[in-house]
Structure 1
Amino acid sequence: MSTHQTQVVIVGGGPSGLLLSQLLHRKGISSIVLEKHTRAHVLGRIRAGVLEHGFVNLMREAGCGARMDREGEIHEGFHIAHQGQLDRIDLAKHTGGDTVMVYGQTEVTRDLYEARDAMSGVVIHEAQNVQPHALTEARPFVTWEQDGEAQRAECDFIVGADGFHGVSRKSIPSDVLKEYEKVYPFGWLGVLSETPPVSEELIYARHERGFALCSLRSRTLSRYYIQVPLTDRVEDWSDAAFWQELKRRLPDEVAAGLQTGPSIEKSIAPLRSFVAEPMRYGNLFLAGDAAHIVPPTGAKGLNLAASDIYYLYHGFLDHYLKGDSAGLDAYSEKALARVWKAERFSWWMTNLLHRAPEGSETDLRLQRADLDYLFSSDAAQASLAENYVGLPY
């Protein structure tokens, strides 16, 4: 067995794991990132693309913001379509100038990989049978297999950033871990197309036929979604059927400007809320989807992972550079406080804009009243904007 020595082992080579590794390396703190998939597989994931201003600043601090700042789209607002009309939420106005940036998760990950390569960061792909050990001891370690050879990394801390299905959360004893989950009775059918976006800003649509979202990755790459039953399969939806249904759920003037084309990616994602507590067990820390899942309506999934990394990064800095472990000791409580607020916001937006299969006429009238109130109250719009751009770290 080959043995490695490092300060932090990060399980999971997605954007959150790479970001933490990059930030720590710039401060002289060593890490090893273990990823079970190939780099091509990680870069092939089509995910969220709305970044909170706090995440944007963290990418810059990591030295990974140059291309993002050149190519990302700064959005000062977004639209909500309802009752055949289009209303705008002015993010900058209601938050004192805060905005979001539209920049795909794939591009974030690519930038982080390039930064890790430039610093000769240790990112091990196709690490199989990864297993954390001795989590409550002073010197934990992680084992895995690489090309059939057993490997071991001894460290001070382990960060589990390996997603909902990863091994990290499952390593916490069941009598310690508590899980909370809400499964929504619908999913999102998403289509990526090489077409100009129908709007320069995102459009969230609430319609009696179901929710829709007009999003974008760039000036030439659009991402659209419609709410579908959980029983639907991708094969049930031709491109023509998708475009037809999307147009039905948009105001006439928006639908008239929609440019359609062949899909280059099509998938159905179920919606759920999930939180695991605590986010620390011994010297294991959970981050990102390993600890929490949000429905995508509020664009919080990747951004919540970034706030976890922010807290961990500063906790490790204080521990290694100042000999102060208070930040690490408070990590779970601090991270979960922000997680639950984001869960609440995502739950609220989901209930506001989707048509529940079992929803009654009363539910529909309540949704309409909620939207009428939202666009009649500056205070309500300010609350939405504050949550959308991201609560303070």
Structure 2
Amino acid sequence: MKTSVCIIGGGPSGLMLSQLLHLKGIANIVLERQSREYVLSRIRAGVLEHGFAELMREAQCGERMDREGEIHDGFFIAHEGQLDRVDLHKHSGGNSVVVYGQTELTRDLYEGRDRMKGQVIHNAEDVQPHDLTSDKPYVTYRDGDEIIRIDCDFVIGADGFHGVSRKSIPKDKITEYEKVYPFGWLGVLSRTPPVSPELVYAKHERGFALCSLRSQVLSRYYIQVPLTDNVEDWSDDAFWAELKRRLPAELAAKLVTGPSIEKSIAPLRSFVAEPMRYGRLFLAGDAAHIVPPTGARGLNSAASDIYYLYHAMLQHYQQGDSTGLDGYSAKALARVWKAQRFSWWMTTMLHTFPEAISYDQKLQQTDLAYLLSSEKALGSLAENYVGLPF
């Protein structure tokens, strides 16, 4: 097979780039190791910055998002038994976020690829990029006993943190930065009405909690837990009881509980790989960077990578100009590190750290107090939360 762009990874990043390129007449093939059903079973973030929403519309996949997504102009911070609202619309100059589950977003992108008869190959085993520093790279994968080769101009690695793309770069050609946090998030999805019309970030001495939602009848809740905990350690009743302890009394009293549809523990880490290009291979999304979910930057950072790649590809194929491709890594990383800073700051301010000394705890309290008392600090939070310009 031959195509212009071979995209490794059929998650939202790979599918979005595939859809955008196809709309501009740039041939591409997506390779995904898992089945479509598996990809659509993953429960992930659902807060989309305004730039991401615009990109979905440009990809002609935003109709259901606009119809069913929840427009949020703010969120709450719970602390010391009280609730303070952060007005995103006011402090960001009129912007907001869209709450729309990643599973639904991915489904919309798949349907977009189906409408255009795009090539998305699932269950592609042993995917491997080759000759990345030549002008004729190619990718192989196994289908049963057959090895299939795809010749292409460029390879996009959108296959996540554990994917093959980043691992295909020689170790002396890449630098990795990582911070692992001493806790994880236990998340529960339940078919219950959300406790709040907007997200609630709760800081509590017992640990952080987050009240989120996917719709008016589907809620997503998280509590901070030690890394030594397992899902089996937490019954539904134990989870709801602990969540209530970490919320202000007025909110805990309104919490509607029910059986969990999905329950999992995710460790928190910050990670960046530099550069995001090696020859004809370009990394995007989790293949190049990971953030704690506290600031809702993970999926949104991936979207900015796709924005830069998409426009660089257009410049290359329509104008014969490779300036955008040459500058992709530096441009993407500049925004990635700002997202890293914001996510680290939100995580540090709102979580309970097991080894924190009393001095650290006082600074943490002061950081939150300053934030809630300063219009400029709230403006900085809002600007980052709704999304920095691409």
**TM-score normalised according to structure 2 size:** 1.00
Q: How does 1:1-393 map to 2 (within 5 A)?
A: 4-393=1-390
Give CA-to-partner distance per residue, 1:256-287, whole Å, 9 cap, x none: 00000000100000000000000000000000
The alpha carbon displacement at 1:361 in A equals: 2.0
Output the CA distance in 1 between the equivalents of 2:204 and 2:358: 13
Give CA-to-partner distance per residue, 1:294-328, whole Å, 9 cap, x none: 00000011101100000000000000001111111
The alpha carbon displacement at 1:360 in A equals: 1.8
> Which amino acid is 1:310 matched to?
Y
3-state DSSP class of the match of 1:130? strand
Output the CA distance in 1 between the equivalents of 2:145 and 2:16: 28
The alpha carbon displacement at 1:44 in A equals: 0.3
Give CA-to-partner distance per residue, 1:179-200, whole Å, 9 cap, x none: 0000000000000000000000
Output the CA distance in 1 between the equivalents of 2:302 and 2:45: 12
Give CA-to-partner distance per residue, 1:237-269, whole Å, 9 cap, x none: 000000000000000000000000000100000
**TM-score normalised according to structure 1 size:** 0.99
> Which amino acid is 1:325 matched to?
S
3-state DSSP class of the match of 2:173? coil
The alpha carbon displacement at 1:367 in A equals: 1.3
Output the CA distance in 2 between the equivalents of 1:181 and 1:13: 25
> Which amino acid is 1:334 matched to?
K
Output the CA distance in 1 between the equivalents of 2:146 and 2:66: 42
> Which amino acid is 1:39 matched to?
R
Give CA-to-partner distance per residue, 1:136-166, whole Å, 9 cap, x none: 1111000011132110000000000000000
3-state DSSP class of the match of 1:324? coil
Output the CA distance in 2 between the equivalents of 1:97 and 1:107: 26
Output the CA distance in 2 between the equivalents of 1:122 and 1:338: 30
> Which amino acid is 1:254 matched to?
L
> Which amino acid is 1:240 matched to?
D
Output the CA distance in 2 between the equivalents of 1:34 and 1:148: 17
Output the CA distance in 2 between the equivalents of 1:83 and 1:154: 59
3-state DSSP class of the match of 1:375? helix
Range 359-368 or range 240-249, more displaced: 359-368
Question: Where in structure 1 are there 5+ consecutive unaligned residues?
Answer: none
Output the CA distance in 2 between the equivalents of 1:371 and 1:165: 35
The alpha carbon displacement at 1:74 in A equals: 0.4
Output the CA distance in 2 between the equivalents of 1:183 and 1:371: 23
Output the CA distance in 2 between the equivalents of 1:363 and 1:219: 38
> Which amino acid is 1:213 matched to?
L
The alpha carbon displacement at 1:347 in A equals: 0.2
Output the CA distance in 2 between the equivalents of 1:359 and 1:243: 26
3-state DSSP class of the match of 1:175? helix
> Which amino acid is 1:32 matched to?
I
Question: Where in structure 2 are there 5+ consecutive unaligned residues?
Answer: none
The alpha carbon displacement at 1:83 in A equals: 1.2
3-state DSSP class of the match of 1:225? strand
> Which amino acid is 2:362 matched to?
R
Output the CA distance in 1 between the equivalents of 2:37 and 2:171: 34
